[in-house]
Chain A
Amino acid sequence: MANVVEEERFPGHPLLPYALILPSVAVIVVFLVVPFLQSVEQSFFATTAFGTKTLFVGLRNYTRLFAAEDFRASALATLLFSAFVMVIGLSFSLAVAHLLNQKIRGQGFYQVALIWTYALSPAVAGAIWALMFAPATGIVPFVVGKLFGGYLLNWMANGSLALLVVSVAATWKMLGYNIVFFLAGLQNIPEEFVDAARVDGAGPWRTFWDITFPMLSPTTTFLLFVNMIYAFFQVFGLIDIMTHGGPGDATNILIYKLYRDAFLYLDAGTASAESCIVFVVISVAAIIQLHYATRKAIYAR
């Protein structure tokens, strides 16, 4: 890491730094690291009904999961859902932030008007979108029916459509957050760079791809990670309120399946194996993200 302090600011206090980090480390060890290691351990065991006995089964929880139809469906739904939230959501937010990032009257108003949805919870977003899409009575099925000659938007009977609806709802909820960060990232790009490109005769499209977008990469990487965590886990409330994982298993993304395996079917072995599988996916993403976050941005200032 480039910018770590080399020297003591306050020599002669050898124990103080330990005392300062002790609470954080204690919380991390007791509530994060140890429970996580127990997750790993439990993933190698099967629990008999009523949890009376545990049995070492090696990797069988994993092999069974990978072979199971419902797990694969859940993994696929998670993949499609998070790809939608990350790709569509971030592209749209970046376009909006770019539009906002110019000298224009009422900029303050537009900013607040576009970011305030950040304060909404996934469950609130779920409730509002459930209202708008309520089959037969909601405003969206009504408009769709009017536009497409009486087409019945019965998304709760159509798996792909249901996944699309929750994806759009989840993406909408994150717009405010994404726009805030993109806008801050854009405003941190020194104007000289963009102006220089323009003087060199690059059009707005070229300027964006050659200058703006590469310079935004720390922000983009950070947002990709945050949106992934959101799409993987935090949308639980939205799914629980809108679809309960249905119809069938169409919106039964991994976090929902994990919750049901752990707390409704009381299958600790399977649930722990699922925890470990998501851990692998998340940590790969986190390492990539941290690499960018702690690295100096490519435009040294």
Chain B
Amino acid sequence: MTPRRWKAGATHAALIALVLVVTFPVAYAVIVSTLSLQQAYAYPPRLVPGTELWHNVVEAWNRIHMGRLFFVTSVISVGAAVVKIILSLMAAFAYTHFSFRGRALLFPMTMITQMLPLPVRILPTYQLMADFHWINSYSALMFPFFASTTGILLFRQFFLTVPRDLPDAARMDGAGPVRYFFDILVPISRTNIAALFVIEFIFMWSQYLWPLIVTNTEEMRVVQIGLKMLIATDQISPSWNVIMAGTIVAMLPPLVVLLAFRKSFAEGIAMQTAK
């Protein structure tokens, strides 16, 4: 009994130490976001929270017009996540429920998405946006991201575990494939849908390079580029308290999404890992 208890104690100690190490950078950022500029430059560095949090948040918010940044970034993050989910559901449905000419060729083709991340086609894609007159538009921010290998694989894997009796029973009841898809397949996929939403929302919210290239107006700026502006405005002696206030606010939406869908996210990942 005693060695086991000792072992549990050691595990707890190790885990708590790990949590502290992993969390420290963000905790420190939060502390700095509550300080005045003078306190942020105190020597030795101050580890006690101050009282300026609200003031710093308002300052950061106004300096880079975060309201607008949040609006634009939310539109593209929700929009791209939803479109990716719909396209992946459709493609996975086709690949698992129908046999059709060309499937053997088309399936690998939808998989090559993984080999063609934006950087290997960045200049021509930018040129394409210019040709479409899409520079500074939501379309330019979203369209090049609509293909999703992750999504197709995730749903395909799940659909393959659906017992054959289910589509057969639906057919017996006179339901066509479209009815079956909407009334049965999509509802039973909701855990995977939620998991994919979390992944794609966070992915789009974090986009930096592409928005930097295809937008150049304040109107269409995204949160990550706003952060870049916030830091670049005072290179010489950065007002770390204001910068950190902006940083903390910028990371809240994806964090809320992750925590809200935590259970589905973990289950979806578990399903994907299980072969």
Contacts and interface: CB of A to CB of B under 8 A. Distances in A.
Contact of A233 (B25, B118, B227): B118
A278 B35 CA distance: 44
Contacts of B250: 121, 124
A291 B18 CA distance: 34
Given A9-B98, A13-B98, A100 B15 contact: yes
A184 B269 contact: yes
A144 interface: no
A111 B167 CA distance: 37
Interface string A4-27: 011111100110111011011101
Contacts of B228: 123, 237, 240-241
B28 A236 contact: no
Interface in B13-62: 14-15, 18-19, 22-23, 25-26, 28-29, 32, 41, 43-45
Contacts of A116: 255, 258-259
B209 interface: yes
Q: What's the interface size class on A, roughly? A: 35 or more
A76 interface: no
Interface stretch (A62-70, A79-87, A151-159, A255-263): A255-263
A117 B258 CA distance: 10
Contact of B120 (A16, A21, A139, A279): A279
B109 interface: yes
Contacts of B262: 112
Interface in A207-261: 218-219, 225, 229, 232-234, 236-237, 240-241, 255, 258-259
A266 to B, nearest CB: 10
B123 A20 contact: no
Contacts of A24: 87-88, 90-91, 110, 147, 152
B133 interface: no
B143 A27 contact: yes
Chain B contact surface mostly: helix
Given A139-B45, A218-B273, A35 B15 contact: no
A254 to B, nearest CB: 8
B224 interface: yes
Chain A contact surface mostly: helix
Interface string A102-140: 101110001111101111111111011111101001110
A167 interface: no
Contact of A9 (B97, B111, B124): B97
B87 A124 contact: no
A97 to B, nearest CB: 11
A10 B119 contact: no
Contacts of B100: 14, 17-18
B129 to A, nearest CB: 10
A52 interface: no
A148 interface: no
B19 A25 contact: no
Contacts of A100: 15
Given A121-B206, A132-B25, 13 more contacts: A5-B97, A9-B171, A13-B98, A28-B110, A35-B127, A100-B15, A117-B26, A127-B227, A181-B273, A237-B224, A255-B209, A263-B213, A296-B275
Interface of A: 3, 5-10, 13-14, 16-18, 20-21, 23-25, 27-28, 30-36, 38-39, 42, 96, 99-100, 102, 104-106, 110-114, 116-125, 127-132, 134, 137-139, 142, 172, 175-176, 180-181, 184-185, 187-188, 218-219, 225, 229, 232-234, 236-237, 240-241, 255, 258-259, 262-263, 268, 271-272, 275-276, 278-279, 282-283, 286-287, 289-290, 293, 296-297
16 contacts: A10-B167, A10-B176, A10-B177, A14-B100, A28-B109, A121-B224, A123-B227, A127-B231, A131-B32, A172-B25, A184-B270, A184-B273, A218-B273, A236-B209, A282-B120, A293-B153
Interface of B: 8, 11-12, 14-15, 18-19, 22-23, 25-26, 28-29, 32, 41, 43-45, 87-88, 90-91, 93-100, 103, 106, 109-125, 127-128, 143-144, 146-147, 152-153, 160, 164, 167-168, 171, 176-178, 180, 202, 205-206, 208-209, 213, 224, 227-228, 231, 238, 240, 243-244, 247, 250-251, 254-255, 257-259, 262, 265-266, 269-270, 272-275
